[in-house]
Amino acid sequence: MAAPRKRAAKAPRADAVVGADEKVRTLEQLLATKEIVISCGSGGVGKTTTAAAAALMAATHLGGKVLVLTVDPAKRLATALGLERFGNVEVRVPPEAFAAAGIEPRGELWAAMLDTKQSWDDLVARHAPDPRTRDAILANSLYQNISGRFVQSHDYIAMERLYEIHQSGEYDLIVVDTPPTRNAIDFLEAPDRMAEFFSSKLLRWLTAPTASRMVNFASKPFYTVADRILGSQFLEDIATFFTLFQTMAPGFVERAEAVTRTLSDRRTTFIVVSTLEDAPLNEAEFFIRALDERRLHLGALVLNKVLPAYLRRTATTAVAKRLVGRADEVAGSVAGVGDPADVARVLATVGESFLNYQVVAKREAEQRAGLARSPDVVAAVPYFDADIADLTGLFALGDKIWR
């Protein structure tokens, strides 16, 4: 068991950074006042890395026990955190990893990965009325299939685990990386959907006593159709499974409602991560709207892989164009660097490349300006020379978003 939560460290931590009516302007201020941070956005924009960097910065500068909970981390991230691998159980990032990076953290950084299958099994074990029902559910072949995909199970499980860990009171701050979903808001709705499902008529029908259902089979067209398509044995299997599953309904419904409350708690905030490319940014905007509609707290927008501002300078456009158009002439101005024809070719290439990147940089700047709503905290992260491979790299990224 980990050490009890250090409540004492908490209050001064928040007050020192932001006063009661001071506006939150940096990620540092935001994280100092929150207990749960949910990092979201479309796939491939650096969501997981951003979550890890934010957690690292919080552990380093704010102190306390900070947990980063990720869904599907690249092996590189585990390596970057100085861990061989990490699983469903939280592990502490070793102090040696910090020492190697020359960082003296005020607090502790912990990491855990979401294991959907394991988490479902734990959930069943918790809510099943007795060990026999539990074993029957866990052994059911439908359950084994379904626990991987049923009712957006990833989404629900992620939020459920978050709730559980938060309830445990083990951490001062939990940073969660959300699962890659087809629809960014799926995980926001997952707890509600779970509660809805358990109170649906459909479940009642499926779990009605077998005898009366068999009578219905013959009389209602749907059953006839279902029977002809899937075969009655398969329908029976489904019914058996859901009869078992329904025994867990009260616990599940209550739990799902509590999870929903956690999302809208004032101690919870959302960080939207995106690049300035068209598709991820659309997704980010959509998500920001979804948060607003649900009155959830949008804390920050982190823009990754942003091209440097000098690419947008109009004065430089003319220079680049001259390098392309009058390469020979400009090449003549430098001596002692080999064949002037080669120099001219290099200068023309360089000019052309600038103009190419300028188109992208300007398009991205317009995308950014066109954002309908931005939170108070917006951080832009430049391209890094190499992929982040250790705590030093993660810290460098964290530095760009922190203040």
CB of 387 to other proteins, least distance (A): 5
Is the C-alpha dihedral spanning 297, 179, 85, 141 positive or negative?
positive
Indicate which single residue of 5, 76, 294, 400 sits in contact with other proteins (rule: CB under 8 A): 76
For the record, the structure tokens of 7 come out as: 């409540």
Cα 262 to the center of its chain, rounded Å: 16
Instruction: Tell me whether residue 44 or residue 169 sits nearer to other proteins (CB atom).
Output: 44
State the Cα–Cα distance between residues 373 and 315, nearest whole angstrom.
30
Question: Could you say whether residue 3 binds other proteins (CB under 8 A)?
Answer: no
Instruction: Tell me whether residue 222 or residue 293 sits nearer to other proteins (CB atom).
Output: 222
Instruction: Tell me whether residue 104 or residue 333 sits nearer to other proteins (CB atom).
Output: 333
Task: Determine the size of the site formed for other proteins (CB under 8 A).
Answer: 76
Question: Could you say whether residue 216 binds other proteins (CB under 8 A)?
Answer: no
Instruction: Tell me whether residue 253 or residue 350 sits nearer to other proteins (CB atom).
Output: 350
CA angle at 299 for the pair 293 and 305, rounded to the nearest 5°: 110
Q: Name the residue among 176, 177, 158, 175 with its Cα closest to residue 66.
A: 175
Indicate which single residue of 142, 249, 296, 371 sits in contact with other proteins (rule: CB under 8 A): 142
Question: Could you say whether residue 139 binds other proteins (CB under 8 A)?
Answer: no
Instruction: Tell me whether residue 288 or residue 348 sits nearer to other proteins (CB atom).
Output: 348
State the Cα–Cα distance between residues 36 and 49, nearest whole angstrom.
17
Instruction: Tell me whether residue 42 or residue 60 sits nearer to other proteins (CB atom).
Output: 42
**DSSP letters for 316-374:** HHHHHHHHHHTHHHHHTT--SSS-HHHHHHHHHHHHHHHHHHHHHHHHHHHHHHT-S--
Q: Which of residues 223-242 bind other proteins (CB under 8 A)?
A: 225-231, 233-234, 238, 242
Question: Could you say whether residue 149 binds other proteins (CB under 8 A)?
Answer: yes
Indicate which single residue of 167, 168, 199, 200 sits in contact with other proteins (rule: CB under 8 A): 200
**Residue 57 C-beta-side C-alpha neighbours within 13 Å:** 25
Instruction: Tell me whether residue 110 or residue 354 sits nearer to other proteins (CB atom).
Output: 354
Indicate which single residue of 125, 353, 373, 399 sits in contact with other proteins (rule: CB under 8 A): 353
Indicate which single residue of 357, 371, 376, 392 sits in contact with other proteins (rule: CB under 8 A): 357
CB 253 within 8 A of CB 192: no
- Enter the DSSP assignment of 312: G
Instruction: Tell me whether residue 87 or residue 332 sits nearer to other proteins (CB atom).
Output: 332
Q: Name the residue among 177, 175, 185, 180 with its Cα closest to residue 37.
A: 175
For the record, the structure tokens of 402 come out as: 């922190």
CB 93 within 8 A of CB 65: no
Question: Could you say whether residue 146 binds other proteins (CB under 8 A)?
Answer: yes
Indicate which single residue of 2, 349, 366, 399 sits in contact with other proteins (rule: CB under 8 A): 349
Amino acid in position 96:
E
Question: Could you say whether residue 334 binds other proteins (CB under 8 A)?
Answer: yes
Question: Could you say whether residue 402 binds other proteins (CB under 8 A)?
Answer: no
Which residues touch 221 (CB under 8 Å, ≥6 apart)? none
**Per-residue x/- mask for other proteins, residues 35 to 74, rule CB under 8 A?**
-------xxxx----------------------------x
Q: Name the residue among 169, 178, 166 with its Cα closest to residue 270.
A: 178
Question: Could you say whether residue 214 binds other proteins (CB under 8 A)?
Answer: no
Question: Could you say whether residue 316 binds other proteins (CB under 8 A)?
Answer: yes
Question: Could you say whether residue 330 binds other proteins (CB under 8 A)?
Answer: yes
Question: Could you say whether residue 78 binds other proteins (CB under 8 A)?
Answer: no
